[in-house]
Chains A and B, each alone.
Chain A
């Protein structure tokens, strides 16, 4: 299975943009890139997912490199509520909806 690599932790200032990187150099052509986040004392929540093109929704933007070996989750203006563990996950075609969570990146937001 293709794996992802993320920094263990990152820090950001409130009201500033945050770029969370993810490397997935062994990604196959049909693997989707998913992002979830887990706020303290809660279960993970879906953030965004994409295949090749950049994606935007009300929560974040997903920028996918042209060779698809890396991606970046962009929070346009970090708030204190965005402090969470962010997981970058690849889905595998024809494997059902099995998402394998890694260690993620713990984002700390400073006021």
Chain B
């Protein structure tokens, strides 16, 4: 148990559906991250929030919409996804955005887009 909880663990959705991934951390951290891990590809950083403000958006398509209502919660809203978006979506947190802060990851949401 890392202190970062992601729900749901598995999600199957059609291309016209709208769904949301949820991440919650109980570590008192101020920075939260979304990563994408596709099969046979390295982890890709998608978004970073520091003190609820988005600090990084790595050219992610607009069909992925992050939301960070407070430092403990992070959402990833999904709409009109493509089959190639099927992947493991990982949430992480760290004390803050400074370099060399340890990242704590959740177990991820395995997403399948049909």
Contact = CB atoms under 8 A, between A and B. Distances in A.
Contacts of A93: 99
A72 to B, nearest CB: 20
B52 to A, nearest CB: 16
A94 B99 contact: yes
A99 B103 contact: yes
B48 A98 contact: yes
Given A96-B56, A96-B97, A98-B48, A43 B102 contact: no
Contacts of B96: 97
A46 B107 contact: no
Contacts of B106: 43
A100 interface: yes
A5 to B, nearest CB: 13
A99 B55 CA distance: 14
Given A43-B2, A43-B92, A101-B42, A96 B100 contact: no
Interface in A90-111: 91-104
Interface residues of A, number: 24
Contacts of A68: none
A98 B91 CA distance: 14
B42 A91 contact: no
B86 interface: no
Interface of B: 2, 4, 31, 35, 42-43, 45, 48, 50, 55-56, 90-92, 94, 96-108
Given A44-B103, A99-B103, 14 more contacts: A32-B99, A43-B91, A43-B106, A44-B90, A44-B105, A45-B105, A46-B102, A92-B99, A96-B98, A97-B31, A97-B96, A97-B103, A98-B56, A103-B42
29 contacts: A32-B99, A32-B100, A34-B100, A41-B107, A42-B107, A42-B108, A43-B2, A43-B91, A43-B92, A43-B106, A43-B108, A44-B43, A44-B90, A44-B105, A45-B104, A45-B105, A46-B102, A46-B104, A91-B100, A92-B99, A96-B56, A96-B97, A96-B98, A97-B97, A97-B98, A98-B99, A99-B45, A99-B103, A103-B42
